Structure 1
């Protein structure tokens, strides 16, 4: 879906207009998008970005890849994006706009910018949580055929325009019954809360390690790079 919109941007010369046209066209998995895209200049001075989206149902959009991918996230995952916006606004109502966002808003931003959504067998998920990379990518490699991984975060997508081995996603596990994007959008949106995200319910995944996503990872030694595929931290408990 991104390529036709990118071509439309080149014709119209403005990302908001191209994204708005996409919300009006039929495409697989099409669902209502609860916002319109507007130029960044429409955001009033001093107004919080998330509060403006909530109040106006309009998303300020700059030209460039970062906000282009944010627009695609709204088109593919309107329920998740709307849920994140509502959670941000609820936190703003509690704490106001402060120089330091706090753990809840930090977690919401992390999800929005860098999350990937994963439906995976239990064995593979547990190995990923444990950062047992040899097991994740070599021993359990056949299980990736039964795994769905969808990149959600718009900053994550922007980084992958120029791929490098160290790019790592924060992976949020979706329900096993989420067989399509629409199901995943509904289930994940319904599962999100500020408290849950602040607990950091993520697994870390260097995305170029995913089988089939990067030619070099066909060789098992690809995963021997400990600067990227880092071991899990061990907790040391001191005797009192």
Structure 2
């Protein structure tokens, strides 16, 4: 069933105070303001030397016949539908994670050159899944990765809850569709993750790996993560039973395995 986001008028403002939307509080005025921000307001937040800009998606823009990614690569034009949550969150991600977005666009263009604009490769599917529902997860404890490999959600989130609370385990929601879904109070969120073991800038590690073609060559590389299980992200995380009963915590499918994590800087 297609997700329908709340209108600006019916938005329950409490969602802005809870993760993941609370992590985007620097954009709160654009989410919670009385009117939808225009593309000019979004462009004003770009650095002066930006090679991209937000442009209103209308019939005139679409008449160029270009693929969405081609328009970005050739003209730096990010098609943005007015009064649209999905595209507003996409703009926020461009503003905060430009390197990741540019890496995804460059890879999409490589695949379009190989496949043409009307067919999609496995890599394109993986790139799109990450763009829409992606998150970057940083871990320092291999026992947490082992639990994740086994879909042992109780161990990953409950046994190791202190690691999520003190920053030894971190999750950064990147996918703009996932942020849009977070507009519904209490919604159980499941995203597609790249994981980095070690310290340092996990987003930079992922950007380099994406650009080099080392990851996102197949959707099966992405790890499903029921991110609502992160302590404090959902009211249910106060009880251990949540991890056994909530429908977002699915068992590992027979034969399913995950690739090795990316490696960040080890040590302080």
Q: TM-score, with normalisation over the residues of structure 1?
A: 0.84
Normalised by the length of structure 2, the TM-score is 0.76
Query: 1:115 matched to which residue of 2?
Result: 134
- Residue aligned with 2:46, SS: helix
Contact 1:129–1:204 under 8 Å retained in 2: no
C-alpha distance 101-164 of structure 1, shift in aligned 2 (>3 A): farther
- Quote the residue 2:204 is aligned against: 186
TM-fit CA distance, 1:171: 1.2
Long gaps (5+) in structure 1:
26-31
**Does structure 2 retain, via aligned residues, the 8 Å contact 1:34–1:82?**
no
Counterpart in the other structure of 2:43:
20
CA distance 1:116–1:9, change in 2 (3 Å): farther
Taking only aligned residues, the RMSD between alpha carbons, in angstroms, comes to 2.3
Seen in structure 2, the aligned counterparts of structure 1 residues 227 and 216 have a Cα distance that, compared at 3 Å, is closer
Contact 1:165-1:206 at 8 Å conserved across structures: no
**Structure 2 CA distance, aligned partners of 1:4 and 1:111?**
26
The gaps in structure 2 that reach 5 residues or longer are 1-25, 257-268
* Greater relative CO, 1 or 2 (CA 8 Å, sep 6+): 2
Q: How many residues align?
A: 223
Q: Select 1:171's aligned residue among 170, 190, 193.
A: 193
Following superposition of structure 1 onto structure 2, how do residues 85-100 of structure 1 map, counting pairs within 5 Å? 85-98=105-118, 100=119
Is structure 2 residue 224 aligned with structure 1 residue 204? yes
Instruction: Give the Cα separation in 2 of the matches to 1:154 and 1:79.
Output: 15
Q: How does 1:216-231 map to 2 (within 5 A)?
A: 216-225=236-245, 227-231=247-251
CA drift of 1:210 comes to: 0.7
1:3-82 counterparts in 2 under 5 A?
A: 3-6=28-31, 10=35, 14-24=37-47, 33-41=50-58, 42-63=61-82, 64-82=84-102
Report if aligned partners of 1:9, 1:15 keep a CA contact under 8 Å in 2: no
